[in-house]
Amino acid sequence: MTTLTGAGVRFGSRWIFRNLDLHAPVGRSLAILGPNGRGKTTLLRSLLGFQPLTEGQRDAPSVIGYVPQYASHEVGYSVRQVVATGRVAQRGLFAQPTAGDMEAADDALARVGMVGFAENRFDWLSGGERQLVLLARAIATGATTLVLDEPASALDLRNQDRFLAVVDSLREDGDHAILFTTHLPQHAAAVADDALLLYGPEDRLLGPVEDTVTEDAIARLYGIPVRIVDCDLPGGARPARGVIPLFGQAGSQA
Amino acid sequence: MSDTAIHARGQSLPARGSGAVWLAAFGGLLIVAMLVSLGLGRLSIPLPTVAAIVGHLALPVPESWTVLEERVVLLVREPRVLLAALSGAGLAMCGAALQGIFRNPLVSPQILGISPGAAFGGALAILLGHAGVVLIGSSFVFGVAALVTVGLIARIDGRTETATIVLAGIIVGALFSALVSLLQFVADPDSSLPAIVGWLMGSFASATWPRLALAAPAILIGVIGLFFLRFRVNVLSLGDDEARSFGVSVERDRWIFFILVALTTGAVVSVAGVIGWVGLVVPHAARLLVGEDHRILVPASGLLGGAYLVTVDTISRTATAAEIPLSVLTAIIGAPVFAILLRHSWRKEHAR
């Protein structure tokens, strides 16, 4: 559980955000949406504790499972070993992974559907696979809060689907507070319970996705009109929600 | 999910044999290199005799050698061989650990400014007419001072980033290299200048048991520390932000590595001068054989580095009548080997 109270960050004379109250309880998933340069990354870094707050309070566990936007590390360890580093990290300087750590790593890999890759070299995986492995590593830390930085933005449609399905299953398990930034409102609609829309330093909208990921709110956020379309799926519990940006219509009231 | 998961493309780790086998092989290599080195020199002693002389220190071996042979092996060559082995192991382990935590294959102990700093300290001591303990102490102090300067330059807003550390290391290294040149410029061309130049090029010729006793504790702390921290290298190699979020205090851990590296490098430079290339090339060679997992790579680099430097030192004192400076040999051997390794691993990485 991670909480920001009256939080604000200022760079020079410019407030990135201010008077922000944010509460991320275990069992819920929060999407953070905003145009480029509106402070998504700064907010994420504040949540992680990397960015000191200019004012306000941060209350967070000492261990958070952070998944970066890209897995840029070119390391030739096995996937299982990469995941095991998440287990060993907080256990002290001289800690070596035990057989138990390796089992826990396999469990975490199973949760993201990558258990068959445990013996593969990490640097030879595709971008989507690496992202899932890093998510498994974050899970393996045992952290109750997972923070994902635009986790699926760089992935193709199939891999977006895989990643979102994993996030959705984690949400249903209810063991984690999940926070993620995204450029794609549809991802928020698919796997978030709540959404935070960053309009400006003190202008924002926070609430359940049904109330926040709406045509009006998203159009106002990005400055281009959108249509929200629900597709009923045979046998599906709830319709699949599509958020369609109307490219070329920026500024119009379509 | 996952029944349609992207199928594995035959990407599993290449069968490299187990790490223990490689470590045993490198350990054997180190022992053989040391025994051969003990036997070679102006007085050539056969290998079984060398083994018996060394062995009788611990085991009841019947004496079948001359007093001269025993004195040459135990008093003259043994400290030199041990110092070369320790130095090679220390430098190579420092290189392996630094390359891991910086995620940069070009990093070596020299990059943090430690070697140039220590070189300046040693040259200053020689210029002022000191040798022995003062030389060792001075080069060690300036090596650590260079590292601390690097840390102060690189620490911006309470955080030290990898790139700023490397750049600060280059800055400080360049500064101390210039100061060394200045010392050489003002040194007496008949006495202190050749001493400085000779010392800078690296040699174990002055190794004795007392000098070994001075340097060995610092090198051993580095070697043992890096050995126990080997999995920490894996943790740190996977990104600072992730490690930080997982509860690792990245800055503190990195400084622990730096201090161990400074101890080891400073001690080696202080007794043997600046020995380049070992910390850069040996980890690459070891990585090619044992893979990238630092749990194996760090000790493997140590054993291989020890064997390498003992061999190079043996060549340096037996190939010609006069001793060839170590840095000259490590570079002459290291540069082409590094070029071959570079092409080999680049081709392998990009051929998939």
* The pLDDT value given to residue B12: 43
Distance from CA of A76 to the nearest CA of B (A): 6
CB contact under 8 A, A77 and B2: no
Neighbours of B349 (CB within 10 A): 12
Nearest by CB to A94, which of B228, B247, B293?
A: B228
Nearest by CB to B13, which of A78, A85, A96?
A: A78
CB contact under 8 A, B238 and A119: no
Nearest Cα residue in chain A from B256? A93
The range of the structural domain enclosing residue B132 comes to: 34-350
CB contact under 8 A, B8 and A162: no
Look-up: residue for tokens 């090596």? B143
CB contact under 8 A, A94 and B243: no
Mutating which of B11, B227, B233, B245 best tests the A interface, going by the most A Cβ atoms within 10 A?
B245
Categorize the per-residue pLDDT at B9 as very low, low, confident or very high, splitting at 50, 70 and 90.
very low
CB contact under 8 A, A78 and B232: no
Distance from CA of B225 to the nearest CA of A (A): 9
* The pLDDT value given to residue B29: 97
Nearest by CB to B237, which of A73, A134, A143?
A: A73
Residue B245 inside a domain? The answer is: yes
Residue B29 inside a domain? The answer is: no
Distance from CA of B293 to the nearest CA of A (A): 6
Structure tokens at B143: 């090596």
Per the CB < 8 A criterion, the answer to whether B273 and B48 are in contact is: no
CB contact under 8 A, A93 and B2: no
CATH number, domain with residue B303? 1.10.3470.10
Q: Name the strands in the sheet holding A14-24, side by side, starting at the edge strand that comes first in the sequence.
A: A14-24, A2-11, A55-59
Residue B15 inside a domain? The answer is: no
Nearest by CB to A63, which of B234, B246, B293?
A: B246
Beta bridge pairs of residue A229:
A242
CB contact under 8 A, A121 and B232: no
What is the predicted ipTM? Answer: 0.86
How many domains does the structure of chain B reveal? 1
Interface residue B190 vs chain A (CB under 8 A): no
Residue A44 to residues A4, A30, A68, A126, A134, Cα–Cα distance (Å): 11, 12, 11, 25, 17
Residue B138: phi and psi, rounded to 5, are -65, -45
Residue B20 inside a domain? The answer is: no
Mutating which of A93, A137, A164, A179 best tests the B interface, going by the most B Cβ atoms within 10 A?
A93
CB contact under 8 A, B235 and A88: yes
CB contact under 8 A, B246 and A162: no
- pLDDT above 50 for B1: no
Grouping H, G, I as helix, E, B as strand and the rest as coil, residue A59 is strand
* The pLDDT value given to residue B8: 40
pLDDT tens digits along B14-69:
444 578 899 999 999 999 999 999 999 888 999 989 999 988 888 888 888 888 99
Per the CB < 8 A criterion, the answer to whether A43 and A204 are in contact is: no
Note which residues in 202-231 of chain B have CB less than 8 A from chain A. 228-229, 231
Interface residue B10 vs chain A (CB under 8 A): no
Residue A244 to residues A16, A143, A168, A214, A227, Cα–Cα distance (Å): 28, 35, 21, 11, 5
Distance from CA of A44 to the nearest CA of B (A): 12
More confident residue, B314 or B334: B314
For B351, how many CA atoms within 13 A lie in the half-sphere containing its CB?
6
Distance from CA of B237 to the nearest CA of A (A): 8
Chain B residues touching A119 at Cβ < 8 A: 12-13
**Helix-then-strand count for chain A, H and E:** 8, 11
Nearest by CB to B238, which of A49, A85, A166?
A: A85
* The pLDDT value given to residue A92: 81
Distance from CA of B87 to the nearest CA of A (A): 23
More confident residue, B330 or A92: B330
* The pLDDT value given to residue B158: 67
Interface residue B252 vs chain A (CB under 8 A): no
Residue B159: phi and psi, rounded to 5, are -130, 145
Q: Which is it for strands A177-182 and A29-33: parallel, antiparallel or unpaired?
A: parallel
CB contact under 8 A, A169 and B245: no
Residue whose C-alpha is closest to residue A141's, from A67, A88, A73, A81: A88
Q: What is the mean pLDDT of residues B93-102?
A: 92
- pLDDT above 90 for B95: yes
CB contact under 8 A, B12 and A119: yes
Distance from CA of B6 to the nearest CA of A (A): 8
pLDDT tens digits along B202-233:
889 888 898 899 889 999 999 999 999 999 99
Residue B18 inside a domain? The answer is: no
Chain B residues touching A67 at Cβ < 8 A: 242
Interface residue B320 vs chain A (CB under 8 A): no
Q: pLDDT tens per residue, chain A (254 residues)?
A: 789 999 999 999 999 999 999 999 999 999 999 998 888 989 999 999 989 999 999 999 999 999 988 776 778 889 999 999 998 887 888 888 888 899 999 999 999 999 999 999 998 898 889 999 999 999 999 999 999 998 887 788 988 999 999 999 999 999 999 999 999 999 999 999 999 999 999 999 999 999 999 999 999 999 999 999 998 888 766 788 899 999 988 877 65
* Domains recognised in chain A with CATH numbers: 2-222 (3.40.50.300)
